[in-house]
Amino acid sequence: MDSSPAPSPETEPQAREGTSASPPAVPTAVSPAMSSADVPTAPPVLAPTASSVPLRTAPPEAPPGRRAPPPPPPPPPTSRPSETRGGGGWKWAAIGLGAALLVVVACLVGLMFAKSDLDWSHHHDTRSPGASELHEALIRNADTEDKIAVIDLQGVISGEVLSGIGTSIVDLVADQLERAAVEGVAAVILKVDSPGGEVLASDEIYLLIEKFQKEHEIPVVASMGSLAASGGYYVSAPCRWIVANELTMTGSIGVIFHSYNYRGLMDKVGVRPDITKSGKLKDMASGEKSPDEVLPEERAILQGMINESFAKFKDVIRSGRNHAAALNEKDGVSDGRRLAANWTEYADGRILSGQQALDLGLVDELGNFEVAVQRALKLSGLEQAKLVTYHPQFRFPGFLSLLGQAGVRSAAPVKVDLGLPLQSRLPEGRLYFLSPLHLR
């Protein structure tokens, strides 16, 4: 019989209201020894309404065994526009002051070099203004006034004007040779590290060296670096003595005409050329022509030009090496090399090592730059000499004019060399004394 008291009529409605408003009861484990009267009952809880309590997202619970992450820092206070107004004026003032100081220092340096040029040109007469503007730099000192001039010939040989010096390689070599002649140097060392280049530019440098040796009777010694191929060997052929390292890549005696045919690509995208010409050969060697549109006369004309330049290349080698051997024998220098009888068999464009070139008589001696220096001293009859070189000077007005051209000519911006492959820098449609390794 149940001993719990019966609910009174006043409390029964309240119990119904509490039961209906309270959430579901949580199940409680009850021991078998306990009666229902011993289990405490939870008081009724009224659920809050949505209007009375704001909605909040519960923070993520931390995994067991880890501490809860710290609360995010408060956002930084936003500055008012009035607080930052005029705050960066000192930075612009510092930049302007630094730029003005740089201009003043550059002008002073330019005036100093210009004064030295005027002092030198006042006592020496040169036919070219560029020769008097060169700056003489000492490479190696010696206890004597005798000098040996060192001329660097690096990179692709071209007749185009270099933006860094404002002149071409051909004109620079001409000015350096003229300066060496006016200075009365005992010898000239031509340091060659070049894969070759344009046919015309290579031939002009060859003529300059040949004329310099005949007019002034000053020997020119070629010192080949890691690469002196094709046009690099062409400019070395007239030298009195040629020194190459046994690992030097030289040779590549030949002429090449390189172009691209992109007609197949044009056909894929639906583009066809529309050409109006005065003659059937006006568009010869055009990359827009399909292979079946290339006339036999075109290939014959191009091949004839290549054969003519190739014959000139072999004549330069033959005359230059024979003339140098005759002068060496006349002066009692018997350790030079003459051309081998079968050297033309190797003039098919192949690359030769320094040792192979020595065996064919294309070079006179194996060695490095120091060997070339000792040979220059021996040919000039000296025991020691200063090594000097002639550099084009930095001209601040020229730099300003370069910036002015960039600002005025919006259609012709200043180009920056990013070190792209050599083929992207060589203009098409020209004949080259160039190593084939540098066309791919």
**Positions marked active-site:** 230, 282
State whether residue 431 is helix, strand or coil.
strand
Alpha helices by DSSP H, 7-51:
11-21
Strand extents, DSSP E, 144-246: 147-154, 187-194, 196-198, 220-229, 241-244
State whether residue 152 is helix, strand or coil.
strand
CA-closest candidate to residue 205, choices 241, 181, 235, 180: 235
CA atoms 239, 373, 126, 172: torsion sign: positive
Q: What is the DSSP letter of 75?
A: P
β-strand partners of 389: 137
- Phi, then psi, of 180 in degrees rounded to 5: -65, -40
Supply 128's token pair. Answer: 């070219």
Asked if 25 and 42 touch (Cβ cutoff 8 Å), the reply is yes
Cβ contacts of residue 144 below 8 Å, gap of 6+?
382, 384, 385, 386
Residue with tokens 């020691």: 384
Alpha helices by DSSP H, 248-292:
263-269
